[in-house]
Amino acid sequence: MPFIGLTPFVTLFHWDLPQTLEDEYGGFLSPHIVNHFQDYVELCYKEFGDRVKHWSTLNEPYTFSNFGYAIGSHAPGRCSTWQQLNCTGGDSSTEPYLVTHHLLLAHAAAIKLYKNKYQASQNGVIGITLVSHWFEPLSEEKENKNAALRALDFMFGWFVEPLTSGDYPQSMRSLVGSRLPKFTKEQSELLIGSFDFLGLNYYAGYYASDAPQNNSVYASYTTDAGVNLSSERNGVPIGSKGASEWLNVYPQGIQDLLLYTKKKYHNPVIYITENGVDEFNDPKLSLAEALNDTHRIDYYNRHLHYVQSSIHNGVKVKGFFPWTLLDNFEWSSGYSVRFGITYVDYNDRLKRHPKLSAHWFKSFLKPY
């Protein structure tokens, strides 16, 4: 739950589904989740709406759907057995799409409730937080340019297109076919415009190239886009690496993504809700060495430069949240990596020490 000044931004769902709902009907695999989600958010509006003025319904629904139901590395750990990823059951060709469908309907129900019953009296705003990499075509060939656009559709457009047009991207409807659920007319109308702001998490860039159509009998969300992703072109990396294997540092990508969103999705109000880079948790480093995170200062300096440039080009960015204030437990990476601008000593009662990047931010923000 990040803060700006004294105003909290609160996320209502960050993948922490009550186990009883998972046991009872499969959680977000079932349309029953929509009513239960609506009941839950109403309780939050009632109890905290006098203090919370910025709500986000969902954080990174892409991560929840993909890693929970296509790859199986996150809870509830579902995927197709043929992928041999030690999953607890599942179908990577259908379940990610079904879960996303119910996530979007739950979001729309939460938004409708807030706007009809609470927004006027509580004087708050509500949105959704999405994540996307930026995808550069591997070459200027048309096939690779189209592949980069498909990669964006399958990661970002999958969620933002229903919120702006009421349907999934055409590329997804064409490639996924009958495995992609359909919205009713009423559901589409409920989804269109169902946010006051768009939260955007950005970390990394990739090269995208067209992948030959897979004629295998095994379908999966992971291959439906027909795209190969790479962190390098002709042996040259797109950028330096964070500690996390997926984090290819590509600062220009945040500007490209912001301008793309402005043009394609009607110039929404945007908060950069996550942006950051990690380093390995190296127990051999002295405290002084661990606090000397010049790579992180460079990362933020360059990304903020491109955010400022985007604002000058008409993108309505209203806030920026570094990920993160403190080193923390990073999902499947645990404590093996550190994203914080503040060092947490796990061996000394969790004492906190500002890293060089924290001092940099203090100096950077002083004029404001």
The CA angle 305-310-314, to the nearest 5 degrees, is: 150
Q: 59: part of which helix (H) or strand (E)?
A: strand 54-59
**Which residues fall within 8 angstroms of residue 153, CB to CB, at 6 or more apart?**
161, 169, 171, 172, 225
Residue 35 tokens read as 């009513």
Residues annotated catalytic, as ranges:
60, 274
**Helical H segments across the chain, by residue range:** 19-25, 32-48, 61-69, 95-113, 119-122, 142-152, 158-165, 170-176, 185-191, 221-224, 252-264, 287-291, 294-312, 356-365
**Separation CA 17–CA 256 (nearest Å):** 33
**Separation CA 126–CA 2 (nearest Å):** 15
**Separation CA 242–CA 279 (nearest Å):** 6
Assign 3-class secondary structure to 181-230: CCCCHHHHHHHCCCCCEEEEECCCEEEEEECCCCCCCCCCHHHHCCEEEE
**Separation CA 141–CA 147 (nearest Å):** 10
**Which residues fall within 8 angstroms of residue 188, CB to CB, at 6 or more apart?**
162, 166, 167
Residue 180 tokens read as 């992609």
Q: Are 168 and 225 in contact (CB under 8 A)?
A: no
The CA angle 314-238-176, to the nearest 5 degrees, is: 75
